[in-house]
Structure 1
Amino acid sequence: MKHLVVYAHPHPDSFNHAILETAVNALEAKGHEVVVRDLYALDFQPVLKPQDTAAMKSGDIPDDIRTEQKFITQADIITFIYPIWWTGLPAIIKGYVDRVFSYGYAYAYGEEGIIQLLKGKKGLIINTHGTPKEIYDQMGMTAGLKITSDIGIFDFTGIEPLEHLLFGNVSETLEEAVRKDILRQIEETINSLFK
């Protein structure tokens, strides 16, 4: 299987980067082909500009958007790995969705309503956040994050959401035992989802 991992964290020594490495290593150990798009390392431009939409309407897709769309088109599985900031997606990955999952590429509208143009693909999302999981669960934020990303992005465009892992209380002071347990859970999830 061909996997596209879209990764968004500004610090190469972050726990999110350890999650990325764990996911990639688990997939490659099973013989899967993996492409990583590290949005910060790429210096991806997240701002959807008027010239972007004008160019796309005329069929002249900007080069950086076309490049990312090619990676999505070639992938069977799309995995997003990013931290939750201010109860949402970091600007760089939100901008990636705004620009790359564009009308006419990822979705369209027809007489019957929404046309999902990325059908046949599957998706996985892995998130960390600093708030304890119990608090996010109690306030409905965990469910809200799953709705906005799993349904609002993946399902909306036809990508079948397979799993959405959210790990709370993650900070620089994360205990080593907890860190190892989270990475173990990620490896186990990947091993169970992808044979």
Structure 2
Amino acid sequence: MNHLVLYAHPNPASFNHAILETTVKALEAKGEKVIVRDLYTLNFDPVLKGSDFEAFHSGQSPADIKTEQDYVSNADVITLIFPIWWTGLPAILKGYIDRVFAYGFAYAYSEDGNINKLLTGKKGIIINTHGTPTEIYDATGMTDALRKTSDAGIFEFVGIEPLEHLFFGSVPQVDDNARKEMLTQVEAKISSLF
């Protein structure tokens, strides 16, 4: 299978980067093909512009968007790895979704007003970290809200079947042994899925 990993964390020494490395190694150990798009390293422009809309409507995506859409088109599985900031996606990843998962590419409306999910047949995985303890996110409904906005609001909206959504809380506060256990969970989950 072809895997596209969209990674969004600016610090190459972050725990998110360790998750990225673990994910890639687990996939490659299973013989999977993996392409990583590190949005910060790419300096991806997250700002959706009026000119982007004009290009979409004319059927000509801007070159940077077309490049990413080609990666998405060729992927069987799309994995998002990112920290939860302000209870949402980092701006660079939100902008990636805004620009790349565009109308006419990822979804469209039919004449009867229904949504045509243009990425149907693909699978999705999301791996998140956050500083808040998991128990607080669970108790306040934040974990469920994040599942709805990401799994349903992004993946399912365009036809991508969510396979897994892993959350790791208290990451800055826990010790290295706890983080190693989190990486073990990532490796085990990825290995079990493919």
TM-score tier, shorter chain, comes to over 0.9
Q: What's the offset of the Cα at 1:174?
A: 3.2
| Separation in 2, partners of 1:177, 1:133 | 17
Cα RMSD (Å): 0.7
Match of 1:153 in 2: 154
Judge which range, 145-154 or 106-115, deviates more: 106-115
Do residues 108 (structure 1) and 108 (structure 2) align? yes
2:177 counterpart letter in structure 1:
A
Q: What's the offset of the Cα at 1:119?
A: 0.5
| Separation in 2, partners of 1:27, 1:174 | 26
Off by >6 Å, runs of 4+ in structure 1 = none
Superposed CA offset, 1:128-181 (max 9, x none): 00000000001000000000000000000000000000110011x531110110
Task: Structure 1: state its 5+ residue gaps.
Answer: none
| Separation in 1, partners of 2:72, 2:60 | 18
**TM-score scaled by length of structure 2:** 0.98
Alignment of 1:46-125 (within 5 A): 46-110=46-110, 111=112, 113-125=114-126
Task: Structure 2: state its 5+ residue gaps.
Answer: none
Superposed CA offset, 1:37-61 (max 9, x none): 0000000000101011111111121
| Separation in 2, partners of 1:174, 1:82 | 18
Alignment of 1:16-55 (within 5 A): 16-55=16-55
| Separation in 2, partners of 1:35, 1:138 | 36
| Separation in 1, partners of 2:77, 2:175 | 31
| Separation in 1, partners of 2:133, 2:174 | 12
1:105 counterpart letter in structure 2:
F
| Separation in 1, partners of 2:99, 2:192 | 32
**TM-score scaled by length of structure 1:** 0.98
Alignment of 1:173-188 (within 5 A): 173-188=173-188
Match of 2:11 in 1: 11
| Separation in 1, partners of 2:174, 2:37 | 26
Percent identity (aligned):
65
| Separation in 2, partners of 1:191, 1:21 | 14
